[in-house]
A and B are shown apart, each in its own frame.
Chain A
Amino acid sequence: MNVSILAVLIIAFLAGIGGVVDEWEVHQPIIACTLVGVALGHPLVGVTLGASLQLITLGWMNIGTVVGPDPALAAVVTAWWVAGPAHLPVALGVILALPLAWVGQWITRGMRQLIIPVVNQADQAAAVGNLRRINHLQLLCAGLQGLRTLLPAALLMLLPAAWLQTGYQTLPDVLRGGFRVAAGMLVVVSFALVINTMATRQLWPFFFLGFALATDQHLSLIALGIIGVGLAVLYLGWHGNSGAGPTTGAATPTSATDDDLDRELDDL
């Protein structure tokens, strides 16, 4: 068990870095929950939670200077609760991820302030041409980002499994059933977030085409993807030939939405 706990903490550390640098994407629930599941000897439980949670978090993003809800802490801790000794059901894990994501978001914001003195030291190092010190400071920052998830995760993992179990047992039926319903329904918020980053008047028809075609269960997701790409290629070809030129035609709608998007994200 001690080895698995150590493994979970390492995963938490890597997810903490991943959630800020946004490179390898190991902090995405489908990866992080799976890894925690593997570490605890229940890979399939981890995958199931990860995939269910992924559908809810796929619209959470860090854009510009805005910090989105944090999937890293939510994925690692709920996976520990679901695949670990507490054995909570997947639907409850999905619901518990929401407050954790909110906490993680605040810690991420705090870290961006906390790190300022380290960055100021880099100025001093640069002034005297000490490049090696700049390297070390950058790596130190990466380490701090890892601790951003590792420390709160470790704290939450100290909660005795028996408490969580009793907590779950004492939940009224209404809440248990309601959580199960919510776990299937919360995905619409992510869909809405993604749509909101892209939607312009000219793009809405493609949304409804996708919707209508997907109600035919014979079409797989790959087939739908092929149709989507085909439509995009056709549209761009038509758009380029009929417009005043590729630059003016294609640039205006996207730049207009970017402004809207920035304004909206500033308010989050």
Chain B
Amino acid sequence: MTTTKQPLTLTLGDQLRIFGRSGLEQAAWNYPRLQNLGFCYIMIPAIQRLYADRTAQAAAATRHLTSFNTMPYMQSLITGVTLSLEEQRANGHPVSDDEINAVKVGMMGSLAGVADPVWWGTWRPILSAFAASLALSGLGILGPIVFFVGWNVVRLGFRWWAQRWGYRRGVQIVEDLSRGILQKLTLGASIVGMFIMGALVPRWTRISLKPVLVTAHHATYDLQALLDQLLPGLLPLGLTLGCVWLLRRHVKPFWLLLGILGLSILGYWGGLFK
């Protein structure tokens, strides 16, 4: 290397290959080191581009096999930042193994904390409930199609944008994130999520009471109709709040499911539900 060295950069093809690989990030999920193999697998096109000799490649692969775990789609942002660090290192900047690992570890926890409620707590429940309601209201196969397309367009778009943003901004991302944009986004998503959950409770829970009350003057009242006059969805609301209360007291979801099942059978047997 006596001539002036051309700086090593990742091509668009490398970035696309890395993006493609990110779809298998969690496949090797294992207990002590979590998504470590997945992260290393994603980095391999970059390792091949940036390090020519085998010992450097071995060192890079080993460094990305340390334990790692984040919300899978946020991994794209962390990958982007890591790519920029690896690129600097390959071009002779003093970036140590520890620094690269510290950036990964520093980002993974906080990003997962803001991303889990958005993706799993808001977007998936809302989109899938919307798709299910389309399917059950007679539009049939359109429901699954809406869910599949809606989910994956947003997911792939986010992953690509996050990887590009992370790669271009590098470690400066940490500053951008500290301004609290993501926290604000999470708060906003949680508001929409809570609102929609509130809306789904009366719309999608099916409970109807059977008993009919007969007064002394032989007027009959349907108990369910009476409750609906008061407030439709009152029973589903009570059940939902009861389940939240039990979850907060560390009752496992499976016990809640079994409890509801038992309650349904008992209620049907006792003539309370129809």
Contacts and interface: CB of A to CB of B under 8 A. Distances in A.
Contacts of A212: 198
**Chain A residues touching B, majority SS:** helix
Interface string A96-122: 001000100000000011011011001
B117 A198 contact: yes
Contacts of B128: 28, 30, 54, 58
Nearest to A219: B199
Interface string A126-150: 1111010011011101100100000
Nearest to B207: A185
Contacts of B152: 24-25
Contact of A188 (B33, B41, B192, B239): B239
B114 interface: yes
A232 B191 contact: yes
A134 B40 contact: yes
Nearest to B63: A126
Contacts of A211: 198-199, 201-202, 233, 237
Contacts of B256: 189, 192
**Chain B residues touching A, majority SS:** helix
B24 A58 contact: no
A59 B40 contact: no
B132 A30 contact: yes
A53 to B, nearest CB: 9
A126 B65 contact: yes
Contacts of B243: 188-189, 191-192
B231 A63 contact: no
A246 B180 contact: yes
A193 B265 contact: no
B116 interface: yes
A50 interface: yes
A208 B257 CA distance: 24
Contacts of B267: 178, 181
A129 B61 contact: yes
A195 interface: yes
Contacts of B151: 25
Interface stretch (B8-16, B51-59, B89-97): B51-59
Interface residues of A, number: 120
Contacts of A135: 41, 44
Contact of B125 (A21, A44, A137, A194): A194
A266 to B, nearest CB: 10
B240 A21 contact: no
Interface stretch (B79-87, B161-169, B217-225, B244-252): B244-252
A138 B37 CA distance: 7
Contacts of A23: 23-25, 72, 155
A13 B268 CA distance: 38
B184 to A, nearest CB: 5
B171 interface: no
Given A21-B27, A193-B253, A209-B195, A34 B72 contact: no
B212 interface: no
Of B72, B243, B267, the most chain A CB neighbours within 10 A belong to: B243
Of A20, A54, A267, the most chain B CB neighbours within 10 A belong to: A54
Given A25-B124, A98-B261, A138-B38, A210 B195 contact: yes
A185 B256 CA distance: 11
B204 A203 contact: no
A113 B31 contact: yes
B247 to A, nearest CB: 5
Nearest to B25: A21
B204 A207 contact: no
B247 A193 contact: yes
Interface in B86-131: 112-114, 116-117, 120-122, 124-126, 128-131
B215 interface: no
A113 B33 CA distance: 11
Q: Please list the 8 inter-chain residue pairs (A to B) with the smallest Cβ-Cβ separation, ordered nearest first.
A: A210-B198, A184-B206, A178-B265, A192-B243, A129-B58, A182-B264, A214-B199, A247-B180
20 contacts: A23-B23, A24-B23, A31-B148, A47-B141, A54-B128, A122-B37, A135-B44, A138-B38, A182-B264, A185-B239, A188-B243, A195-B194, A200-B190, A203-B190, A206-B194, A211-B201, A221-B130, A246-B179, A247-B179, A258-B116
